[in-house]
Structure 1
Amino acid sequence: MKYCARCGSEYEDSVQDCADCPGNPLLVSAEEMRSRGLPLPHELDQRVFVRAATAEDPFTAEAFVEVLQEANIPVLVRAGRSGVVDKLTTGNILPWWEILVPEDKAPLAIPLLEQERVQELATTDEAVQAAEEEERENEQPPAPPPAL
């Protein structure tokens, strides 16, 4: 049997791609699943997941998930709030998204996510600076005062 390393679905040996996951990831053997620290569907998952990072928007959460998946680190994303009123009505002050990884993978995941956050902030700063420069270039000089 083969297994999807992303969702854990089990497939016949003749199948090449997971039908359930976006991008149709390749399927791997049971040995490969175990080497990646992923449980097989019929095994009880006893991993403890811990917070590796937080994200204030779904785009950042998605970027974090991609970084972790590329490093073969299992990841769960949990929404901390479901709406803008939550903080007012329930006192919930959790971030929008929690990025959770297995406890034993946290020492690998946390630096990767911190590096991704730094790169994202640098990219954002560059974009802001470029927009400000473009705005300055497009500003029209004030019209000269009318001649008397």
Structure 2
Amino acid sequence: MRYCASCGSEYRDDIEQCSDCPGSPRLVEASEMSRRGLPLPHELDQRVFARAGTTDNPLMVEVFTGMLEERDIPVLVRAGRSGVVDKLTTGNLLPWWEILVPEEMRERAALLIERERAQEAATTDEAVRAAEEEERETERSSPPPPAF
């Protein structure tokens, strides 16, 4: 077998150039791939990813992803097929986004996501209380409107 050193595609021995890559680079033998430190297709990542959490909020997807990546947990985000139309036509009630991590890191990631979710909820509640208090203070300190 021969391989493209750019994309790693595998070809029959009678093929000379990669048909997938721009510029159609010449193919090399497995020994050349090894010499260059490039993995063969069967040596690529074989991890199994599992659901660590879900969310309907696109901003929280970014928050969760960033938080997990900061802790060196690889993340894949998969959009579910959910929405008003899907629920009406298919009954599909999947969450909008699934947060997937390597299976062996799932429990740790799920715990981190729940902690982040609880912290976000507490921050939101605190912001609501502060806004309500500020509104009450503004109402008390502002003079009444002039009578006509």
The TM-score with structure 2 as length reference comes to 0.63
Q: How many residues are matched? A: 108
Partner AA of 2:104 in structure 1: D
Larger helix fraction of residues: 2
Distance apart, 1:82 and its partner CA: 5.5
2:46: which partner in 1?
46
Distance apart, 1:79 and its partner CA: 1.1
Q: Distance in 2 between matches of 1:79 and 1:41?
A: 30
Q: Distance in 1 between matches of 2:64 and 2:40?
A: 25
Larger Rg: 2
Q: Is 1:97 aligned to residue 97 of structure 2? A: yes
Alignment gaps of 5+ in structure 1 = 1-8, 10-39
Q: Deviations over 1:44-80 (max 9, x none)?
A: 3221111101111110011000011001111011111
Query: Are the structure 2 counterparts of residues 134 and 47 from structure 1 closer, same or farther at C-alpha, using a change threshold of 3 Å?
Result: same
Equivalent pairs: percent with the same residue? 65
Aligned runs of 1:34-113 on 2, under 5 Å?
42=41, 43-81=43-81, 83-113=83-113
Query: Are the structure 2 counterparts of residues 90 and 142 from structure 1 closer, same or farther at C-alpha, using a change threshold of 3 Å?
Result: farther
Q: Distance in 1 between matches of 2:124 and 2:44?
A: 42
Secondary structure of 2:95's partner? coil
Query: Are the structure 2 counterparts of residues 81 and 41 from structure 1 closer, same or farther at C-alpha, using a change threshold of 3 Å?
Result: farther
Distance apart, 1:116 and its partner CA: 0.6
Distance apart, 1:108 and its partner CA: 1.8
Q: Distance in 2 between matches of 1:60 and 1:122?
A: 14
Q: Distance in 1 between matches of 2:54 and 2:45?
A: 24
Alignment gaps of 5+ in structure 2 = 1-6, 8-38
Q: Distance in 2 between matches of 1:85 and 1:131?
A: 36
Q: Distance in 2 between matches of 1:69 and 1:41?
A: 26
Q: Is 1:135 aligned to residue 135 of structure 2? A: yes
Distance apart, 1:83 and its partner CA: 3.9
Distance apart, 1:41 and its partner CA: 8.2
- Deviating above 4 A after TM superposition, structure 1's stretches of 4 or more consecutive aligned residues are 140-143
1:18: which partner in 2?
none
Partner AA of 1:63 in structure 2: V
